[in-house]
Structure 1
């Protein structure tokens, strides 16, 4: 599990900067009981992107 430490929004997407990335493989993200599919993102260390306009600062991300 990782914690969201920063975020920014681009149109219908939210990019989340995490304190750490998992070492295991994953298919989706689980945040506050909601499952999100990853949006491809490149060259952004410890970042993930999802389709959402909510705020996730301080939330825990589970990799499932």
Structure 2
């Protein structure tokens, strides 16, 4: 089971970073790991293939690999 995906887009919404991937893995997860850092996810609604987490940095995650973890 592959729980890693390539980030195809990311954007900031207030204090949250939203990342978009081609598809969300079919596993139970509540965290993501990007560039060695683990982020707790916050609920998102009506945003296809996206997840969000609190983030106050300026880095972009586009074209990075994200690992969905529990």
TM over 0.5: yes
1:1-64 equivalences in 2 (<5 Å) = 1-52=4-55, 53=57, 54-64=59-69
Structure 2 runs not aligned, ≥5 long: none
Cα distance in 2 for partners of 1:13, 1:27 equals: 15
TM, length-normalised to structure 2: 0.83
**Which stretches of structure 1, 4 residues or longer, exceed 6 Å deviation after superposition?**
none
TM, length-normalised to structure 1: 0.90
Cα distance in 2 for partners of 1:41, 1:27 equals: 12
